[in-house]
Each structure stands twice: as C-alpha cells, then as structure tokens.
Chain A
Amino acid sequence: MTDETSNQGIPLPEGDAQLIDTDYEIGQDNIETQIGPFGVDIHNPVFLISGLCVVAFVFFTLALPDQADAAFAWLFSFATKTFDWFFLGTANIFVLFCLLLIVTPVGRVRLGGADATPDYSYIGWFSMLFAAGMGIGLMFFGVLEPVYHMAVSQPLGVASPFAADGSLIPENVEAAKKMGLAATIFHWGLHPWAIYAVVALALALFSYNKGLPLTIRSAFYPILGERVWGWWGHVIDVLAVFATLFGLATSLGFGAQQANAGLNYVFGVPVGATAQVLLITGITSIALVSVLRGLDGGVKVLSEINMGIAALLLLFVLFAGPTLLILTDFAEGLGAYLKEIVPLSNPFGREDTGFVQGWTSFYWAWWISWSPFVGMFIARVSRGRTVREFIICVLIIPSLVCVLWMAVFGGVAIDQVLSDPATSAVKANVIDSYNPPLSLFAMLEGLPFSAITSVIGIVLVIVFFVTSSDSGSLVIDTITAGGKVDAPVPQRVFWCVFEGAVAIVLLLSAGGLSSLQSMVISTGLPFALVLLVMCWAIWRGLRDEQS
C-alpha cells in the first residue's frame, strides 16, 4: 500500500469487475469551450441550473426575508418533527445494513476490481474522511452536548442532576452523567457514519466497479437504467450540488460567527460583520490554495495536519484533566452507549419528544443532507478497499474516535460542572445560558495554559472549515463537470469562491443563514428515501460482483 500510486505506469490488471454496459460516454453532455483566457468543461444542464438555483434562492432569501424564514422554518419543523420516526427508523436500517455487509460474503468484494490496491495509506485515508465528515462538529459539540444532555435535555427521561434552583441532587448524578455521554455518542457514533458509508459505498461501487461516472446519479442506474443520463439524473445531481453548496456556505457563515465569538472570548476581538467577513475571506483563501494544490498536495496534507493538531489537543485535555476519571468515563460512556443504543434509537412510542425531535431527528436530517458531499468525497479516496474493510473503517473506527473525543472533552466538562457548579464557566455557557460557540473555550479555561490551548482551538476550528470547504469544492466541481475529475482548474476556483461569496451575502442579511440552513436540513427528508433506494442498489450491485 502506498500514497505514491501516481507517476506509476498502469499496474497489473485490476482483476474481475462487472462493468455496466452503457452507451453513455462520460462528458458527452459537456460543453467544452473557452471563456476569455479560461477553458471550461461543464455538464450542460447541471452546472447552469445549479448555479442559477443557488443565486435564485439567495435572492429570494434576501428580497423576502420574513417569508423565506417562515417558509423554511415550517419546512424544517415539518421534516424533523412530523417525520422523526422516519429518520430514526431509516438510520437504524442503514446501521443494520452496514453490519450485514461486514458479516456476509459480499464483504469480500473489492472496490475497483478484484486486484485493485488502495490509493491511500490508512492514516491519509482516515484523516481525509474524518476531517470532511464531522471534524468541525466535534469542536463545538464535544463539550456542549454531554453537558446539555446530562443536565437539560434528559434523554429517555433520565432526571437532571440539578434542581430547578440550581442545587445539585447527588443521587441523580451517576445516571445523568452516563446518559449525557451515551446520548452524545449516539449522535456521533454508528448512525451518522452508517449514513455516510451507504452513500460512499454506492458511489464507489458504481464508479470503480461498474465504470459509471463519479456523480450521485450513477447510484440510481439499477433503478432508472439509461434514463439516469436524462432529466432524472440531472435533478438528482442538481439537488446534490444544491445541498452541498448551501450546506457548506451556511456552515461557513455560522463557523465564522463561532470563530469570531471565540476570538472575542479569548482576545477581545470585537464581534461584528467586519471580523466575520474577514474570517470567511481568510478561510476561503486558504481553501483555494488547498484546492489548487490538488487532492494529494492540498486536501490530504491539510487533513493530516488537522488530525495531528486535534490529536495533540485531545492528549493535552486527557492529561491536563482528571486522566483516570476520563478513562473511566470513556469505558462507562461506551458501555452506556451500547446499553442504551436500542432505546435511544427506538422510533416509536417515545416520551422524550423534546430530545428526539430537537436533537436526534435534527442530527439525522443533518447527516443525511450532508451525505452526498461527504459520501462522494469518501468514495473518491476509497478505491482499492474491500467492502468489509471499507465499512469497518468508515463505521467502526470513526465511531470509536468520536467516543474517545466526547469522553475526554465531555468528561472534563462534566467534571468541571459537577465539582464546582457555582464557578464553572461551562455551566454558565451551556446550562445557565446557551452559548454553543463558547462551550469549548469555557472548558479549556478550567485547564492550565488556557491561553495557548484556546488559540489552538480557534486554529482547529478554522482549519476544519478549510478542509470541509476544499473537499466540498472538489465534489461540486466533479458533479457539475458530469463526473470528470480533470475539468479545468478555474472551475474549482469558481466553486470555492462562489461558496465563500454566498456565505458572506447570507451572513450580511438578517436571518439568511439560519433560514437557508433550515432549508438544507429539510432536504434530509427526501434524501432519506434516496438512501434507502441506494441500499437496495448496493446489495444488487454487490451480488452481481460476486457472481
């Protein structure tokens, strides 16, 4: 296994794979021309419709902010509250499906043909899929969620350790603490990674083994047949571009606000549009450099640096905090997760609707709406793995890393809250008032060298955004180039800059960010159905490979 497969001649035959026999040639619908000094190679309807739709939605949000906000808020509430059972049920199916793939003989199928070898080493591969998948969320929710679930949201009706007057109820502490960690791990563990794994596996299988272009529509070939190259496919790809671009742009906008809040907390940098626009410009500029350096020289390098810094911060918090207690929390949290995973994922007859609809359903819709982007990126870098290896590495290992992260950051924060509730900055920013961006910095404040670690925290937040932005730009560029990965470089630059520009416009409009993010998360509902279809397509595709 090596990272240096580039620059080599064609290796030995890739072994047997069941190519789909189609008349479609990749790029046949593309327009290849010159605009001024720049060459372009774009998929005919997908590029234009995606770009125009994004502009139209931004315009609608800016021109009619109240109507847009009301419409998207209703859509969001309808999707996550009316269909909470559906989100919980489908996510369970994805986990079971992935586990099934590990244990059945189809797990032996290799992505890229029977004799294909992996493109990336385990470290490079894992860093990239992790950084694109959920790195940024860990920075914000690692402290917030365990504390919030322990004290406020009360999953499965487990009582809070704090009475209404703020006094501690010692007999509730143990159960609430375990449930806080278990519920957090539940949201960041097997279920989200199963969602990503399904999309990634479908795309990798139909691209590397079936010879179809690396775009979302290819996974629908078993159902739509040749129609997938027509308007059915165009709509699927446009939706994927749409969800990816708005998902990234709104996250970038919120990320800039959160980084600004962190800079204000640590250095007193004023909170305002100027600082946030500068942050978005900075993040987009670094992402641009990364995009221009390519998959190996930019995205992979940045992801590895990112994971290295995150690991250092994790180790610091582990050893600067109550180490023994954290390790106990890790074991107990994992145990509680395994014990509670069935009741927590039960879609029917739940009494803790505030937790289910406000958190779990929201998260599942969020992961699903992000899955085209993350799934496609994971597919791009996963050639050469067997299905079993792929699922284990995409499902189990990231889940364990999330458990460790949540146990360390959440464990330290919970310890700070419970050992000294009166002065705890975490309690002040999570339980007494709700300031998600400050929760990490509030926890670091209770540890030594907080000035240094807070700066590292801000750097990590920014770099995690860069790694999402650059990989997202690559994904959008590939989809809008009809599955070509070698489209002219100015197109990547366009999407990267466009994403930053959309984020800035939304940031400067009142409520634009939150209303469009609601809309993006609502797309999780139709995509959940799409993912169910993908499971069937994967199963059928893998059985063909085996035969």
Chain B
Amino acid sequence: MFSKIMMPVDLAHLASLRRALDVAADLGAHYGATVVYAGVTAQTPGALGHNPKDFAARLDAFVAQESRTHGIAAEALALISHDPRIDLDRTLIKAVEDIGADLVVMASHIPNLTDYIWPSNGGTLAAHAKTSVMVVRG
C-alpha cells in the first residue's frame, strides 16, 4: 500500500518522538516500505552540528540505528533552510513531493490554545501536503 514513508525528525527532541518513530518503523516493516527520516537544519552552526555536514552525519547515525533496531529499509534526508523555525512546514511539504513519499508519519503535541495562533507543524502538513499524513499525538 505504501512504498515510501517520510518521518520528519527533530534530533534534539527524540524522546518526545518515540511513539511516532515506532509507528513509522512498524508501518515500514509491515508494508516493506522505505522509511525516509527527514531533518531540517540551518546553515549556521547549531546544537546539532557545526555545519550542515555535521548535522547530516548525526542524522545518518540515527537512521542507521533505527534501521538496525527495527530491521527496515531506511534513508536519511537532511534539509537546509535559511530560517528553519519559520520555513519548516514549507521545507517538509516540498520534500514530500521531491522524494515522492506516499505517507507521512509525524509526531505532534496535543492541541492547545496556541494552536489557534501558531498551528502545529503536524497539523499544517496534514492540511497542505498532497499525500496521506498520519499525525501521532502525545
């Protein structure tokens, strides 16, 4: 049913993504799909690396571990944005089209008052991506 599943990841907050990560891996194993783990970084040095190369290396290591743990085919996709906090949704939506993902699994928080002002990334992706999106809350 699905051949390529995209799972956006924030390497700084992996603990809060665990449920969604497991769902993505289970679906990948179930359908024999490749899970593409997408991370977004800026050009400037950040907490996850001195530069995008460092970031990409860290993402590769994480993806290799997920692949080993769950026995799935997995790929890393490091994306660069000038202003990741603002451009995250646009960057991910474009990546979904570019890689031809047929399902996106994404972690999100339980909606609260601020979502009326700043909608969650998962909610925005579900609203605007032209493919199936599974939002895993909590």
Contact indicator per residue, chain B 73-86, by CB within 8 Å of chain A (1) or not (0): 00001111111111
Contact status A296-B83, CB under 8 Å = yes
For chain B residues 9-27, which have a beta carbon within 8 Å of chain A? none
Contact status B95-A119, CB under 8 Å = no
With A6-B80, A297-B86, A489-B86 as given contacts, are A13 and B53 in contact (CB-CB < 8 Å)?
Answer: yes
Contact status B91-A214, CB under 8 Å = no
Q: Interface size on B (CB < 8 Å)?
A: 32
A294 located at the interface, meaning its Cβ lies under 8 Å from any Cβ of chain B in the complex: yes
For chain A residues 272-323, which have a beta carbon within 8 Å of chain B? 292-298
Instruction: Known pairs A6-B87, A17-B51, A483-B44; list 6 more (Cβ under 8 Å).
Output: A5-B80, A10-B52, A10-B53, A13-B53, A37-B112, A485-B46
Contact status A484-B82, CB under 8 Å = no
Contact status B82-A212, CB under 8 Å = no
Closest 5 CB pairs of A and B: A211-B50, A294-B86, A27-B47, A295-B83, A294-B83
Q: Inside 8 A of A207's CB, which chain B residues have their CB?
A: 44-45
Beta-carbon nearest neighbor of A213 in chain B: B45
Contact status B83-A26, CB under 8 Å = no
With A7-B79, A7-B98 as given contacts, are A211 and B51 in contact (CB-CB < 8 Å)?
Answer: yes
B70 located at the interface, meaning its Cβ lies under 8 Å from any Cβ of chain A in the complex: no
A420 located at the interface, meaning its Cβ lies under 8 Å from any Cβ of chain B in the complex: no
CA distance A13 to B84 in the complex (A): 21
Complex partner residue of B44 from A8, A27, A208, CB under 8 angstroms: A208
A38 located at the interface, meaning its Cβ lies under 8 Å from any Cβ of chain B in the complex: yes
Contact status B46-A113, CB under 8 Å = no
B113 located at the interface, meaning its Cβ lies under 8 Å from any Cβ of chain A in the complex: yes
Closest approach, in angstroms, between the C-beta of B119 and any C-beta of chain A? 12
Q: Inside 8 A of B46's CB, which chain A residues have their CB?
A: 26-27, 483-486
Q: Inside 8 A of A112's CB, which chain B residues have their CB?
A: 43, 51
Contact status B44-A380, CB under 8 Å = yes
Contact status A294-B53, CB under 8 Å = no
Q: Inside 8 A of B50's CB, which chain A residues have their CB?
A: 19, 211
Closest approach, in angstroms, between the C-beta of A204 and any C-beta of chain B? 10
Complex partner residue of B82 from A9, A113, A119, A213, CB under 8 angstroms: A119
CA distance A365 to B118 in the complex (A): 41
Closest approach, in angstroms, between the C-beta of A380 and any C-beta of chain B? 7
Contact status A8-B52, CB under 8 Å = no
Q: Inside 8 A of B44's CB, which chain A residues have their CB?
A: 207-208, 213-214, 380, 383, 483, 485
Beta-carbon nearest neighbor of A379 in chain B: B44
B114 located at the interface, meaning its Cβ lies under 8 Å from any Cβ of chain A in the complex: yes
Closest approach, in angstroms, between the C-beta of B129 and any C-beta of chain A? 13
CA distance A344 to B77 in the complex (A): 56
CA distance A190 to B110 in the complex (A): 54
Closest approach, in angstroms, between the C-beta of A7 and any C-beta of chain B? 4
A14 located at the interface, meaning its Cβ lies under 8 Å from any Cβ of chain B in the complex: yes
Closest approach, in angstroms, between the C-beta of B43 and any C-beta of chain A? 5
Q: Inside 8 A of B43's CB, which chain A residues have their CB?
A: 112, 119, 208, 383
Contact status B114-A10, CB under 8 Å = no
CA distance A212 to B54 in the complex (A): 13
A488 located at the interface, meaning its Cβ lies under 8 Å from any Cβ of chain B in the complex: yes
**Residue of B45, B47, B77 contacting most chain A CB atoms (<10 Å):** B45
Beta-carbon nearest neighbor of A474 in chain B: B83
A contact set with B: CB distance below 8 Å: 5-11, 13-14, 17, 19, 25-28, 37-38, 112-113, 119, 207-208, 211-214, 292-298, 380, 383, 483-489
CA distance A28 to B48 in the complex (A): 11
Contact status A7-B45, CB under 8 Å = no
Complex partner residue of B87 from A8, A37, A208, A296, CB under 8 angstroms: A296
Contact status B85-A486, CB under 8 Å = yes
B56 located at the interface, meaning its Cβ lies under 8 Å from any Cβ of chain A in the complex: yes
Closest approach, in angstroms, between the C-beta of A284 and any C-beta of chain B? 17
Q: Inside 8 A of A17's CB, which chain B residues have their CB?
A: 51
Complex partner residue of A10 from B80, B85, B95, CB under 8 angstroms: B80
Beta-carbon nearest neighbor of A8 in chain B: B80
**Residue of B47, B87, B114, B118 contacting most chain A CB atoms (<10 Å):** B47
Beta-carbon nearest neighbor of A478 in chain B: B44
B42 located at the interface, meaning its Cβ lies under 8 Å from any Cβ of chain A in the complex: yes
Q: Inside 8 A of B84's CB, which chain A residues have their CB?
A: 485-486
Contact indicator per residue, chain B 29-46, by CB within 8 Å of chain A (1) or not (0): 000000000000011111
Closest approach, in angstroms, between the C-beta of A97 and any C-beta of chain B? 25
CA distance A147 to B79 in the complex (A): 53
B128 located at the interface, meaning its Cβ lies under 8 Å from any Cβ of chain A in the complex: no
Closest approach, in angstroms, between the C-beta of B11 and any C-beta of chain A? 12
Q: Inside 8 A of A25's CB, which chain B residues have their CB?
A: 47
CA distance A5 to B85 in the complex (A): 16
Q: Inside 8 A of A292's CB, which chain B residues have their CB?
A: 86
Beta-carbon nearest neighbor of B85 in chain A: A486
Contact status B81-A6, CB under 8 Å = yes
Complex partner residue of B114 from A19, A37, A293, A484, CB under 8 angstroms: A37
CA distance A383 to B80 in the complex (A): 13
Contact status B79-A8, CB under 8 Å = yes
Q: Inside 8 A of A8's CB, which chain B residues have their CB?
A: 79-80
Complex partner residue of B91 from A7, A37, A113, CB under 8 angstroms: A7
B94 located at the interface, meaning its Cβ lies under 8 Å from any Cβ of chain A in the complex: yes
Closest approach, in angstroms, between the C-beta of A492 and any C-beta of chain B? 8
Beta-carbon nearest neighbor of A384 in chain B: B43
Closest approach, in angstroms, between the C-beta of A54 and any C-beta of chain B? 24
CA distance A112 to B80 in the complex (A): 14
CA distance A280 to B53 in the complex (A): 43
Closest approach, in angstroms, between the C-beta of A251 and any C-beta of chain B? 24
Q: Inside 8 A of A298's CB, which chain B residues have their CB?
A: 86
Beta-carbon nearest neighbor of B59 in chain A: A10
Q: Inside 8 A of B52's CB, which chain A residues have their CB?
A: 10, 14
Contact status B45-A212, CB under 8 Å = yes
Contact status B86-A9, CB under 8 Å = no
CA distance A346 to B86 in the complex (A): 47
Closest approach, in angstroms, between the C-beta of A406 and any C-beta of chain B? 33
User: Please, could you name 11 A-B residue pairs with CB atoms under 8 Å apart, sorted by A?
Assistant: A6-B79, A6-B81, A14-B51, A26-B45, A26-B47, A28-B47, A37-B113, A294-B87, A295-B82, A383-B44, A488-B85
Beta-carbon nearest neighbor of B13 in chain A: A32
CA distance A212 to B13 in the complex (A): 22
